[in-house]
Structure 1
Amino acid sequence: MTYEVFRQDCWPVYRRYSAACSGSSTVGAAVAAAALKGLEERWDAVLSSPSPAVTAWEFLVECTSSRRTASTQWVYRSLERREADALLLRHKLGLSAHQGGEVMGLDSAEFTLLSRRALCKMTTQT
C-alpha cells in the first residue's frame, strides 16, 4: 500500500478520532495531520512491521494522548487502552465493527469484543 492511499483511507477516521479526544475539530485535524506526517516519515518501518495498521493506529493514539479532554483521559484511565480506543470508535464515532477493526488493525470479532467489554466496564463503574 502506498502512503497516499493509506492517508486517503485513514484521514477521515483519524481526524474524527483526534477531534473526539481533544474536544475540538480544529485541534483534532491538526493532531491527525501531524500524526500522518510522522507516519509518512516512518513509512518504510510501518510497512515492515508485523501489522502496519496496528503500528499506525498506536502512533496516532500516542500523538493524541497529550491533547485529551478530561473526560477522555478518564476513559483511558478507566479502561485498557485498546478497550478505550474501541469504545470511542464504536460509540463516539459510530463506526461499525468492520470499520473500527480495520482502522485499529483488528478483525471485526476482536473489535466487537473490546468495545463490548469496554461498555460493560463503563456501565458497572457509573
Structure 2
Amino acid sequence: MPLAFEAFRALNQPLYLTYAKAHLPEDAAAQATVQTAFRLILERWDHVVSQPRPAREAWSELIRCTGSREHPLPVPAESALQYDTVILHQLGKHSAEAIAQATGLDIPKVRYLTGLTPPVLHG
C-alpha cells in the first residue's frame, strides 16, 4: 500500500465517516461503506493522484458508495457541493479547512457554501 495513500486515508477518514454516518442507518454500515470507498480509491490510486484535484476524485467515490445523491437528507442546499459541505460542517462540526482537504474544494469556496464567509466591511 503506498505511503501517500495511507496518509490520505488517515487524514480524511474522520470526515468520510461523518458523511457516511449521516446517510446510513447504522455505524457498522457507515464504517463498512467508508472502508469500501477507500478500497476502491486504492484500486484506482494512480488515476486518482493523476487528476488535477485528487481529493475531489476520491470524494466522488465516497459519494457513490453512500448513495447520498439518490437519497439526500432534507438539508437546504442549492447544489451537490453545498450539500456535501453543509453535511460535514453542520453535522460533523468540521472546519472549512478540513472540509476543503477532504472534498478537494478551495477553502474560500467551502466557506461560501457553508455560510462561513466573514462579512465584508465597508469603510
Please indicate the TM-score interval, normalised by the length of the shorter structure: 0.7 to 0.9
Matches of 1:50 and 1:67 in 2, distance apart? 23
- 1:20 pairs with 13, 19, 22, which one? 22
TM-score normalised by length of structure 1: 0.80
Matches of 2:63 and 2:78 in 1, distance apart? 14
Larger RCO (CA within 8 A; separation ≥ 6): 2
Task: Say which structure is richer in helix.
Answer: 1
Tell whether the 8 Å contact from 1:18 to 1:31 is kept in structure 2 after alignment.
Answer: yes
CA displacement 1:62-86 (0-9 Å, x = unmatched): 2111697x662x448x631111001
Matches of 2:56 and 2:93 in 1, distance apart? 20
Percent identical across equivalent pairs? 30
Tell me the amino acid that sits aligned with residue 102 of structure 1: Q
The count of aligned residue pairs is: 114
Unaligned runs of 5+ in 1: 118-126
Matches of 2:62 and 2:78 in 1, distance apart? 18
RMSD: 2.3
Larger Rg: 2
Task: Name the structure 1 match of 2:79.
Answer: 80
Runs of 4+ in 1 over 3 A off after TM superposition: none
TM-score normalised by length of structure 2: 0.82
Unaligned runs of 5+ in 2: 117-123
Task: Name the structure 2 match of 1:99.
Answer: 98
